[in-house]
Amino acid sequence: MAYNTKPSIERLPAIPAEVTAEWLESKLGHKVKSATLTRSIFGTGSKLFISIEYEEEIADPDSRPRNICVKGVFDPAMVKSQPWTLSLALREANFFAKIAPSIKHMGYPRGWWGGTSDRQGIAIMSDLTHEGCTFPSEAASYPVEKVLDGAAQIAGLHAQFWGRSQDDYPWISNDYDVAMKFITEPWDSVVREPGRPKLPEYLMDGARVKRAQEKYYAQRNPRFRTLLHGDTHLGNVYFTAEGHTRFLDWSAFHFASCFHDLVYFVSTTLEVEERRAHEMEVLDHYLATLHRLGGPKFERDDEELMIEYKRSYMTNIIWPVCGYDLQTKERVDAFTERTIAAWVDHKVIEVIEAQW
């Protein structure tokens, strides 16, 4: 794999038409005869799916991809209206360049090139659909076995980087909190828009919710700090051809509380009643796997642990105000319902307010 570890002076493609056969050839290291755009997905990160034909055959075809996903910010209007999306693209490119090659216990899409400039971050990955992978529908719910598998994947990442911080990796800044505060700023108006999911009255108070959000970000317990995937909701899950649960969209990784990843995954992947029935089983499995793979040993009778677990549901704050231009209405409404149920069940706002 060829990776660019410093911002490039080269102007990287900014729109799909600029991802040409010639440009791909320069990054993949093989002469490209043709590159055909087969489909595109636009959102907080744009994904261009491209089929490649090479000039020459080689002995080991697995050493170069024939079907790729080129991810970056290829929608100028989105970048203008949501400038924080650029930081996500830069971060994902850096993940494949600097972190992915060292990961031991967590699967992720195969990367072929990653590079950044001051206005773009691009990651070239294998197109998972051509590896037999499948993806959840907009608001699916899955059996607990799939969730346990995903929790073990999360534990694998966390165990490897347990206790590390930005002091160890100065280039991994926390842009996540800034982006979330930007998105939740119009809370009071968005939650009152016609057609939005109805919230309990106390959550209609945007000032209270945002104070809790600020307090959560400022007071994460460092005892549970590790490197996070950062965006483990169901929309960033895929299943391998063998049926294993894996995660894509590595554009929000940063150092923070481990339970951020776990609760965000559990509460979006299970419907409310399933989450209530199996949540502690999943937590126990996560804790056991974390310890087995080299992380610390924790138990649920640890009061500090359970407080941090409940507080971490603040991660879900995006869904009640997520724009329907960023995610489908079906997904936003379903995940909002699951979020609010978890907030009420765990008294998330109240637990945060009661701390210090």
Domain-embedded: residue 138: no
Which of 78, 97, 131 is the last residue before a domain boundary? 131
- Partners of residue 46 on adjacent β-strands: 72
Per-residue pLDDT, 6: 52
Question: Are both 34 and 165 inside the same structural domain?
Answer: no
- Partners of residue 115 on adjacent β-strands: 122
Question: Are both 169 and 78 inside the same structural domain?
Answer: no
Question: Are both 202 and 71 inside the same structural domain?
Answer: no
Domain-embedded: residue 139: no
Question: Are both 150 and 251 inside the same structural domain?
Answer: yes
Question: Are both 83 and 126 inside the same structural domain?
Answer: yes
347: left (phi over 0), alpha (psi -120 to 50) or beta: left
Question: Are both 161 and 201 inside the same structural domain?
Answer: yes
CATH code, domain with 173: 3.90.1200.10
Question: Are both 101 and 200 inside the same structural domain?
Answer: no
Per-residue pLDDT, 5: 47
Q: Among positive and negative, which fits the CA dihedral 223, 226, 229, 230?
A: positive
3-state secondary structure of 320: helix
CATH code, domain with 127: 3.30.200
Domain-embedded: residue 345: yes
Q: What are phi and psi of 115, to 5 degrees?
A: -160, 160
Per-residue pLDDT, 4: 47
pTM, full prediction: 0.91
Question: Are both 157 and 299 inside the same structural domain?
Answer: yes
Distance of CA 54 to the CA centre of its chain: 32
Domains: count for the chain: 2
What six digits make up the tokens of 201? Answer: 């009255």
Look up the domain containing 6 and give its range.
2-131
Q: Could you please report the per-residue DSSP string of 239-256? A: E-TT--EEE---S--EEE
Per-residue pLDDT of the chain (356 residues; tens, 9 = 90+): 444 445 556 899 999 999 999 999 999 999 999 999 999 998 778 999 999 999 998 878 788 999 999 999 998 888 888 888 888 899 999 999 899 999 999 999 999 999 999 899 999 999 999 999 999 999 988 999 999 999 999 999 999 999 999 999 999 989 899 989 999 999 999 999 999 999 999 999 999 999 999 999 999 999 999 999 999 999 999 999 999 999 999 989 999 999 999 999 999 999 999 999 999 999 999 999 999 999 999 999 999 999 999 999 999 999 999 999 888 999 999 999 999 999 999 999 999 999 87
Domain-embedded: residue 72: yes
Domain-embedded: residue 27: yes
Question: Are both 195 and 287 inside the same structural domain?
Answer: yes
Question: Are both 231 and 348 inside the same structural domain?
Answer: yes
Domain-embedded: residue 24: yes
By CB neighbour count within 10 A (0-12 exposed, 13-18 middle, 19+ buried), where does 53 fall? exposed
